[in-house]
Amino acid sequence: MSSIKQNITNIRQFLTDNNLDTYIIPHDDEYLSEYIPPENERLAWATGFTGSAGMAIISQDSAAIFVDGRYTVQVKEQVDSSLYTILHISKDPWMKWLKANHKSGGKIGYDPRMHRATWKKTTEKKLNGALKLESVTGNPVDIYWENRPKSVEEKAILLDEKYTGISSLDKRLNLGKIIAKNDCKAAFITQLDSIAWLLNIRGTDVPCNPVLLSHGILYDDGAFDLFISENKIPDGFNEHVGENVNVFAPNQIQSRLTNISGENIQFDPANSNVWVKDLLSSANLITIEKEDPCTLPKACKNSVEIEGMKNCHIRDAVAECNFLAWLDKEVDSGNLHDEGVLADKLDSFRADQDGFRGISFGTISAAGSNAAMCHYSHKNYDTPGKLEMDTVYLVDSGGQYWDGTTDITRTVAIGDPDEFTKKAFTLVLKGHISLGSAQFPEGIAGQHLDTLARQFLWHEGLDFDHGTGHGVGSYLNVHEGPHRIGKGTNNVPLKEGMVVSNEPGYYEEGKFGIRIENLIFVKQIDEVKGKKLLGFENLTFVPIDTRLLDHSILTKPEKNWLNNYHREVFEKVSPFVEGDVLAWLENAVKPI
């Protein structure tokens, strides 16, 4: 029996033992983060699927896994279709499947630590009594998972104010005033990057995301309770974070909440699990639903953080150009490497840069048809793909630096791809240029700009099934809210200092994938009739492969944009490269 089949059998035994009809396994862990430590990859244990989002539902006689458009190809590669029905979470909603495969009154088990408070509220409303949600103590995956990876126990990293621009104490005092204005005594903080940002600390608990597994309570006077393993507190911590930060073991949360029993406490239901909501209620606190107070100020980078992002992106561009120059030379020499060799080479160039702290996510190194899986990882397969002539190579990668976080995608010609590939690439570039050139008044959200990136693909009956842009942290999570650019509803206005990706793409399953991604930040570019006019400024400066252009569908303004961009690339990067890399760069930025 395969290990996955045995895991399903064990979960079904758990259903029997607990008088349940079904159990739901999300990708989320108890901290509700997109990227989670290996010991919390419960969905992968149950299904074999290693993507960063998804959900499995297992009953006694059926099982299904639901993923979004980023993973429709990958899930088919990784999950045994004889064990799981594979479904698109938007086209075949899990709730619909649940109702269709269960009799009225069925009991649906879930772990309250793994689901958002909003999820429970919405799910119960939609089930409308037809099925019953049952909160379960003890997670079956945790019970049956043998040889589970051990958690990290490394010390917190103290991030100097020369990188953050503001002290932890000042941040806490500012946010304490907001909490008081909300008529609350405290705010319960669950987002790991919020805690790291608030205290100016970083960690290694989660791969690629420099955060620490922890919870916190921020009080209206700026005091803060940090719940974390005391083994992770380094020397100098108290002096670094400033006054009124107290460290407690995670099992002391309830006793600390009891100290403010009867008071109002705000919490973010979209980023807090059911367990947290129940915990607050059990402490006799009056819960006020408000967004995490750290979210917006964390997203709006200050001048020090923006300067850091600019600086680290230049160093990152040097690494990228070293890699792309090496890649072209290898291909010209007939060395068609596999995806693992390519990813390792790029990672090594990045590691050579000053201030490098690690990669910001697993490098997506995708050759040929593998690039059609937009979140592909060669590490999920026994044999990585290899470069093939007359196709494309897509590489999406990023780095963590003391002074910022990077995320860049380039699609590279390997030989001479066909005309449709070039047309698709050029349509994607046109959308990239259109979005990056946008000018808009205050109050405009990313969803209002998404059409700019897709319009040229739409005119050809094409599209891409992922968001166009996500926020990015400053030496923090590479995916950061509250803002985004995409089709879905997100009414958060784009504000000065917000960093966001600009990454339209196009994917032909089984053939190729294209994506062009720069990071950009929001800035004021003008004032019209006394009102601010906002726009974007590029942070990423790496050549876009002109060998993939269909010149016939580029307008003169678009050609001018690309030539101007490449002139900036050369001005910023050329002082830091030499020899073959400089020669490659000069050729890569030639005007079209």
Q: Across 406-530, where does the E strand assignment appear?
A: 408-414, 439-441, 469-471, 480-485, 499-502, 505-508, 512-515, 518-528
First to last CA, the chain: 59
Residue 532 lies in a domain: yes
Residue 367: beta bridge partners? 393
What per-residue string of b and e applies to 233-272 under the rule 16 or more CB within 10 Å gives b? beeebeebbbeebebbeeeebeeebeebeebbbbbbbbbb
Residue 152 lies in a domain: no
Which residue in the block uniquely carries the two structure tokens 């992002």? 309
User: What is the CB neighbour count within 10 angstroms for residue 303?
Assistant: 9
Residue 511 lies in a domain: yes
Ramachandran class of 129: left when φ > 0, alpha when ψ lies in -120 to 50, beta otherwise: left
Residue-wise DSSP of 126-165: HHTTSSEEEE-SS-HHHHH-TTPPPPP-PPPEEPPHHHHS
Q: Could you tell me if 241 and 202 lie in one domain?
A: yes
Helices 556-573/303-332 angle, 10° precision = 100
Closest CA to 21 of 103, 142, 141: 103
Q: What is the pLDDT of residue 570?
A: 99
CA–CA dist 214, 205 (Å, integer): 10
Q: Are strands 63-67 and 85-88 parallel, antiparallel or unpaired?
A: parallel
Q: Could you tell me if 339 and 435 lie in one domain?
A: yes
CA–CA dist 381, 399 (Å, integer): 24
Q: Could you tell me if 452 and 531 lie in one domain?
A: yes
Q: Could you tell me if 193 and 305 lie in one domain?
A: no
> Which of 298, 316, 349 marks a domain boundary?
298
Q: Could you tell me if 79 and 187 lie in one domain?
A: no
Phi, psi of 461 (to 5 degrees): 75, 20
Q: What is the pLDDT of residue 523?
A: 99
Residue 150 lies in a domain: no
Q: What is the pLDDT of residue 147?
A: 94
* Segment holding 314, helix H or strand E: helix 303-332
CATH code, domain with 184 = 3.40.350.10
CB–CB of 302/294 below 8 Å? Answer: no
Q: Could you tell me if 241 and 317 lie in one domain?
A: no
Cβ neighbours for 224, distance < 8 A, ≥ 6 positions apart: 172, 198, 199, 216, 217, 218, 241, 244, 245, 246
* Segment holding 366, helix H or strand E: strand 364-367
Q: Could you tell me if 290 and 401 lie in one domain?
A: no
Q: Could you tell me if 94 and 216 lie in one domain?
A: no
Query: What is the extent of the structural domain holding 538?
Result: 300-588
CATH code, domain with 506 = 3.90.230.10
Q: Could you tell me if 100 and 235 lie in one domain?
A: no
Give all strands of the β-sheet with 132-135 in edge-to-edge order.
85-88, 63-67, 55-59, 22-26, 107-110, 132-135
Q: Are strands 264-267 and 186-189 parallel, antiparallel or unpaired?
A: parallel
Q: What is the pLDDT of residue 380?
A: 82
Residue 151 lies in a domain: no
Residue 149 lies in a domain: no
Which residue in the block uniquely carries the two structure tokens 């159990």? 23
Estimate to the nearest angstrom the gap between the alpha carbon of 149 and the chain centroid: 23
Looking at residue 378, what DSSP letter applies? G
CB–CB of 525/439 below 8 Å? Answer: yes
* Segment holding 47, helix H or strand E: helix 42-47
Paired tokens of 108: 């649906």
Number of domains the chain contains: 3
Q: Could you tell me if 336 and 277 lie in one domain?
A: no
Closest CA to 43 of 109, 141, 162: 141
User: pLDDT 10s digit of each residue in the chain, 592 long?
Assistant: 579 999 999 999 999 999 999 999 999 999 998 889 999 999 999 999 999 899 999 999 999 999 998 888 889 989 999 999 999 998 888 988 998 888 888 999 999 999 999 999 999 999 988 899 999 999 999 999 999 999 888 999 999 999 999 999 999 999 999 999 999 999 999 999 999 999 999 999 999 999 999 999 999 999 999 999 999 999 999 999 999 999 999 999 999 999 999 999 999 999 999 999 999 999 999 999 999 999 999 999 999 999 999 999 999 999 999 999 999 999 999 999 999 999 999 999 999 999 999 999 999 999 999 999 888 899 888 899 999 999 999 999 999 999 999 999 999 999 999 999 999 999 999 999 999 999 999 999 999 999 999 999 999 999 999 999 999 999 999 999 999 999 988 999 999 999 999 999 999 999 999 999 999 999 999 999 999 999 999 999 999 999 999 999 999 999 999 999 999 999 999 999 999 999 999 999 999 9
* Segment holding 424, helix H or strand E: helix 419-436
Q: Could you tell me if 293 and 308 lie in one domain?
A: no
Residue type, 388: E
Residue 557 lies in a domain: yes
Phi, psi of 507 (to 5 degrees): -135, 130
> Which of 298, 323, 345 marks a domain boundary?
298
CB–CB of 545/529 below 8 Å? Answer: no
Residue 18 lies in a domain: yes
Closest CA to 218 of 252, 170, 266, 255: 266
- The residue count of the chain comes to 592
Q: Could you tell me if 134 and 278 lie in one domain?
A: no
> Which of 236, 265, 298 marks a domain boundary?
298
pTM above 0.85, yes or no: yes
